Amino acid sequence: MLRISAAIAVLTLIGTTGIGVSIASADTWGCSYDKCLAACAKAGGHYCSSYCDKQLKDKQTSKICK
């Protein structure tokens, strides 16, 4: 039971953190997935591919990116 609680806590923490990407670097990549990965890695982020997937999808949903 303790392991399950710990796993849930870790997953929640991962999902709610900024994943190491600063606000300034978040706007430098525009609509490019590759540039997002580079900005995330440069900012020392972890889980960059899932972060960029979500951010690009959000930008496409809000019609910022086509």
- Between CA 18 and CA 55 the distance in angstroms is 11
Query: For residue 65, is it within any domain?
Result: yes
Total domains present in the chain: 1
Residue at 26 is within a domain: yes
- DSSP run (H or E) holding 55: helix 48-61
Q: On the CB side of 17, how many CA atoms lie within 13 Å of its CA?
A: 14
Residue 7 lies in a domain: no
Q: Give domain status of residue 57, yes or no.
A: yes
Residue 28 has pLDDT above 60, yes or no: yes
Q: Are 29 and 35 in contact (CB under 8 A)?
A: yes
Tell me what the pLDDT averaged over the chain comes to.
Answer: 73
Give domain status of residue 42, yes or no.
yes
pLDDT value at position 11? 52
Q: Compute the distance between CA of residue 14 and CA of residue 31 in angstroms, rounded to an integer.
A: 23
Per the domain annotation, does 29 fall within a domain?
yes
pLDDT band of residue 52 (cuts 50, 70, 90) is: very high
- In this predicted structure, the answer to whether residue 12 has a pLDDT above a threshold of 90 is no
Sign for the CA dihedral angle at 18, 21, 27, 29 comes to negative
